[in-house]
Structure 1
């Protein structure tokens, strides 16, 4: 019996891990978790990363930077400049409103009743970072908000590959 419980627990753990997928991935649809990028002009792009619930703000910001480096390298640029940066909390609420319950139960040799009151509600917060980046030959080699794309990817790759979410 104990081995069955252990096998079922192991299967559930494996399926849960598979269902969550990697943290750094394209967003499947609007409002989903992951990255998105859009061309604004020939040398400007909007890059965003929306984290899942429980993902630390710093991790979301790092994943957005990592995606910006991917976009720059994908367009043949070795560096990029962030022209706009914003990280916003996105909070969802569930189970709102007060609720009451009355219950009873029995079982030999006991029986009982109960009354409960709950104010209900739970909130969860996740973060989304939106960057506007500029590519091109006219960017300075270094300066405020100018990043070397290859160096940035090299430095952040271990945490992105590990799927750091805390």
Structure 2
């Protein structure tokens, strides 16, 4: 009897990637007194929506930590790192060839590459998302000229139940 145990892949929790050894999670960089670059990177099983929500949550959390009421997004982007693997299968696949008829031998197939047909391939793709934004924080009411404004406390309240914190 053979028992096989595999590691269950889980979504990236809401955690700092700035801690030594962490490849996935959030990062924050101050670029002006009230302006920050915030990013969140997820592993291959973290959905794009989760990455973008965790980015928004981090921006709100950072805004409150710095003593501001809200923020607006100056610039944002989400990137996908798509990894495509081609794996051979065990059954024969397609190969170039021409059927021909020979009066002495009947029907045959000519393969210009020789040998047996190429094995078919199974394609496996995995996406890994990362999102980043430059945010500007404000106190009191949002600036009239600002688009995409967020009340930090409202964002934390709305997303707080959906944010998965790391174990331990």
> TM above 0.5, one fold?
yes
* Pairwise CA distance, 1:83: 0.6
Residues 1:51 and 1:21: Cα distance change in structure 2 (over 3 Å) = closer
Is the counterpart of residue 35 in structure 1 residue 26 in structure 2?
yes
Decide whether the 8 Å contact of 2:28 with 2:36 is kept in 1. yes
Residues 1:137 and 1:125: Cα distance change in structure 2 (over 3 Å) = same
Decide whether the 8 Å contact of 1:90 with 1:127 is kept in 2. yes
1:79 pairs with 66, 70, 93, which one?
70
Counterpart CA distance in 1 for 2:137 and 2:165 is 28
Larger Rg: 2
Decide whether the 8 Å contact of 2:12 with 2:46 is kept in 1. no
Counterpart CA distance in 2 for 1:158 and 1:121 is 36
Counterpart CA distance in 1 for 2:26 and 2:161 is 18
Tell me the TM-score normalized by structure 1: 0.66
Correspondence for 1:147? 150
Residue deviations 1:67-101, cap 9 Å, x none? Answer: 0011101110111111111111112244x58699x
Decide whether the 8 Å contact of 1:81 with 1:139 is kept in 2. no
Decide whether the 8 Å contact of 2:73 with 2:133 is kept in 1. yes
Which runs of 5 or more structure 2 residues have no equivalent in the other structure? 91-117
Decide whether the 8 Å contact of 1:80 with 1:135 is kept in 2. yes
Per mean C-alpha deviation after superposition, the further-off stretch among 133-142 and 36-45 is: 133-142
1:128 partner SS:
strand
**Cα RMSD between the aligned structures?**
3.8
Counterpart CA distance in 2 for 1:93 and 1:29 is 29
